[in-house]
Structure 1
Amino acid sequence: MPAFDDRQPETRPPASSVVERQGVKGVRFDHDTLAQRVRFASASAAEILADEIKELGAARVMVIAAEAERELAHRIAAQLPVAHWHHEVAMHVPVEVAERAREQAAAHRADALVCIGGGSTTGLAKAVALTTGLPIVAVPTTYAGSEATNVWGLTEHARKTTGTDPRVLPRTIVYDATLMLTLPVDLSVASGLNALAHCVDSMWAPRADPIDRALAGEGIRALRIGLPLVAAEPDGLDGREHALYGAYLSAVAFASAGSGLHHKICHVLGGMFDLPHAQTHAVVLPHVLAFNAPAAPDAERRIAAAFDAESATGGLARLRTRLDAPRSLRDYGMPESGIGPAAEAILAAVPPGNPTPVTADNITGLLHAAWEGAEPR
């Protein structure tokens, strides 16, 4: 049996499996690679962005950037034919915020979108592209990874809805690690652990295949090297570039493999309690890894090897200790009374083929441990 086969119990045919046809045993899987241009060059964002907009032939660009990044956006996009600067950005992309952005895109007759910022900013650009079909050029300033996926998300009445659509995939990503140098260490750690969660989920998500697992393993390795360097030397470019490279790989793996249990949990929590996205992922990750790893031994070995550790959970714990990672959901405003309703909503969203069967009791226990910051069980 090939070394990269890690069959898991599934309720539908897996994305990859070992099959036997006409007496021949071999690996079979389907893998889609998203069509996207990636330009990775430190200290070159403004120049590359101008080139990409020129290549698109855009003449009326709508630039989306949060208020906190207004100055940065104006500097990076100074060479562009900007028709509208849009600075209303909110976590989890509330429907009403998306509607106002769409109205502005129409009013200013935008023919392209540039998003400069983190996951919320990219998410808003995707919400506009979803209904308008406008092309996006993304310039990330965190390790969120949304820029490399065709996944959109909108929140309404404390419920976050997600989906996939080719219209929301940015045409080009402009990666410039110098834009991360001013991202505070605590936010860098949380954002990087969010990327790490993409990698871990991609080991056993519904459409996971050998290519996804290879990308995810390399993403974990790069983040394991980069994030401690960022924490130790925030102004150093080496750590920032490693982390950014790892974040990109994590997002590509996630876009192909789909949302696993970890992301289903975090989408419910984020939408229901308006929790900060990256910190929520950072808190929940070790609990989901401890929950699933015993039932997915091949994935566990891959993750452990990427961490250069004896076990996956041990490698993640060691990294989190070095980074002083976020520990509890209550630190970010989740009420203990919300555990029950959240568990109920998560049960309705559990992805097929999760390695460990999910029940009301064990998901409630996982949420309570994450809420209080207890050691993963």
Structure 2
Amino acid sequence: MREFEYQALPGRVVFGAGAARTRLAAEVERLGASRVLLVAGERDAALVRELVAPFADRVAGTFSGIRQHVPLAVAEQARGLAGSVAADAVLSVGGGSTTGTAKAIALSTGLPVIAVPTTYSGSEVTPIWGLTENDRKTTGTDPVVLPRSVVYDPELTVSLPADLSAASGLNAMAHCVEAFWAPRRNPISALIAEEGIRALASGLPGVVADGGDLDGRAELLYGSYLAGAALAVAGTGLHHKICHVLGGAYDLPHAQTHAVMLPHVLAFNAPGAPDAARRIGRALGAADDPAGALHALASRLPVPRSLRELGLRDDRLDDAAALIHGIVPADNPTPVDAASLRALLQAAWTGAPLDGPCETTQEAAS
């Protein structure tokens, strides 16, 4: 008989083309916020001014010092500004680092967050926070950081370049894939994850070919929402542990690191989770070869294919493996030891074809 636990998370989602321009003010009103701290990068300044114009009198301050992986010093600056302007809510407009900064404010202040994502990270629907200090990224889960309301507007992602769209979309797909074997996996999160993979795989090629493909943009944004929803419930596993270490210790770009690692971690874990692998493959259109299908998809996209391309030196791989080994979930579907982890990183560093690293990592794990 089937047994599982599923903790549904609170939160409101508004989804539709033009929603950020026509419905964001109502979400601010719904919270009863009168002194909003706006968190948004300088690059999005013109867009943000347009979006907040209907409630500009409620914006008490703006924090624009966004940095990837949310360094603790940046979080403290943002928290200080929230206090100095007596903010009663936080509005984030931007990608995962922007959302992460808003979450960092909420973590210590309890302020409610409204998120308007402009990439496909999925972070906006998770209670997961992350902070980096002394080259180490720490993550945790706290319901206080979960945005109260999320406004998804495909029109806001049209200006996202093809390479960033592809990397961000694969980052979201990593959330879906990981949800199949993360510590709190369950049948409901798996359903959500499978549909998320299908939507992302469907939308990515068209958006890369034509950045103005609004239907494709909507499919990607829908998939990223599902990715975040699956990850929020299931938690994180081997893939995210690897990426968090690589990002925090070596300042590798977040989405691109996920894009590089995903096919290799999937190839590594698939033999230990055949049913999950079949469902992942089915969503990708190749139930018998999920890693190959993902590799083929990535090969059509303008994304890095190796950790070497991201600037990681090969003499850092031993240290990286040691940092990761101590935080690998005990129930990872394929056993992980020091040798197999080092081989997995080596495969991702070289970007070698998957039949090579897949055999290498599995031999090391056996």
TM-score, normalised via structure 1 length: 0.92
Asked if residue 31 in structure 1 is aligned to residue 6 in structure 2, the reply is yes
Residue 58 of structure 2 corresponds to residue 68 of structure 1: no
Offset of 1:44 from its aligned partner?
Answer: 2.2
Choose which of 174, 194, 208 in structure 1 pairs with 2:171. Answer: 194
Amino acid at match of 1:124: T
**Rounded Cα–Cα distance in structure 1 between residues aligned with 2:42 and 2:302:** 28
Please say if 1:361 is aligned against 2:339.
yes
- Measure how far apart 1:354 and its partner are: 0.3
Code of the aligned partner of 1:143: Y
Task: Say whether the 8 Å CA contact 2:35–2:60 is kept in structure 1.
Answer: yes
Q: CA deviation at 1:256?
A: 0.6
Aligned-residue sequence identity (percent) comes to 55
- 1:372 corresponds in structure 2 to 350
Q: CA deviation at 1:259?
A: 0.5
Match for residue 278 of structure 1 among 246, 255, 259: 255
Deviations 1:269-324 (A, max 9, x none): 00000111000000000110000001111001101110111311121122112224
Q: Residue 157 in 1 paired to residue 129 in 2?
A: no
Name the Cα RMSD after superposition.
Answer: 0.8
Amino acid at match of 1:297: P
* Secondary structure class of the residue paired with 2:65: coil
Which residue pairs with 2:119 in the alignment? 142
Match of 2:306 in 1: 328
2:21 to 36, 39, 46: 46
Q: 1 CA distance for matches of 2:204 and 2:351?
A: 21
CA displacement at 1:127 relative to structure 2: 0.2
Secondary structure at 1:62 match in 2:
strand
CA distance in 2 between counterparts of 1:357 and 1:344 reads 16
173-182 or 73-82, which moves further after superposition?
A: 73-82
| CA distance in 2 between partners of 1:161 and 1:236 (Å) | 37
**Contact 1:229 1:238 (C-alpha < 8 Å) held by counterparts:** no
- Distance in 1, matches of 2:330 and 2:112, equals 33
Q: Distance in 1 between matches of 2:204 and 2:301?
A: 8
Match of 1:5 in 2: none
Alignment of 1:169-248 (within 5 A): 169-248=146-225
Q: Secondary structure at the match of 1:29?
A: coil
| Alignment coverage as a number of residue pairs | 352
What secondary structure sits across from 1:357 in the alignment? Answer: coil
Counterpart position of 1:96: 73
CA distance in 2, matches of 1:116, 1:312: 34
* Corresponding residue of 1:345: 323
Provide the C-alpha distance between the structure 2 equivalents of 1:56 and 1:324, rounded to a whole number of angstroms.
40
1:131 to 105, 108, 121: 108
Distance 2:256 2:52 in 1: 29
Aligned to 1:21: none
CA distance in 2 between counterparts of 1:324 and 1:235 reads 17
CA distance in 2, matches of 1:280, 1:339: 14
SS at match of 1:173: strand
Higher helix share: 2
Moved over 6 A (4+): none
Counterpart of 1:36 in structure 2: which amino acid? G
Q: 2:82 aligns with which of 102, 105, 112?
A: 105
Conserved? CA contact 2:176–2:230, under 8 Å:
yes
SS across alignment from 2:295: helix
Q: What is the CA distance between 1:90 and its match in structure 2?
A: 0.3
Which amino acid in structure 2 is aligned with residue 68 of structure 1?
Answer: R
Query: Displacement, 1:349?
Result: 0.6
After superposition, residues 229-268 of structure 1 pair within 5 angstroms as 229-268=206-245
CA distance in 1, matches of 2:98, 2:138: 17
Which residue number corresponds to residue 281 of structure 2?
304
Residues 243-284 of structure 1: CA distance to partner in whole angstroms, max 9, x if unpaired? 110111011001111101000000000000011100000000
Q: Give the counterpart of 2:293 among 298, 315, 332.
A: 315
Could you tell me whether the CA contact under 8 Å between 2:260 and 2:306 is conserved in 1? yes
| Structure 1 residue 232 displacement after superposition | 1.4
* TM-score (ref. length: structure 2): 0.95
Cα distance in 2 between the residues matched to 1:321 and 1:335: 23
Give the aligned partner of residue 364 of structure 2.
none
SS at match of 2:151: strand
- 2:62 — aligned with what? 85
Cα distance in 1 for residues equivalent to 2:6 and 2:277: 22
Tell me, in whole angstroms, the C-alpha distance in 2 between the residues paired with 1:114 and 1:181.
21
Question: Residue 143 of structure 1 contacts residue 243 of structure 1 at CA under 8 Å; is this kept in 2?
Answer: yes
Instruction: Give 1:286's aligned amino acid.
Output: P
**Matched residues in 1 for 2:172 and 2:247: separation?**
16
* 3-state DSSP of counterpart to 2:2: strand
Note the residue ranges of structure 1 that are not aligned, 5 or more in a row. 1-25
Measured in 2, the distance between the counterparts of 1:253 and 1:42 equals 23
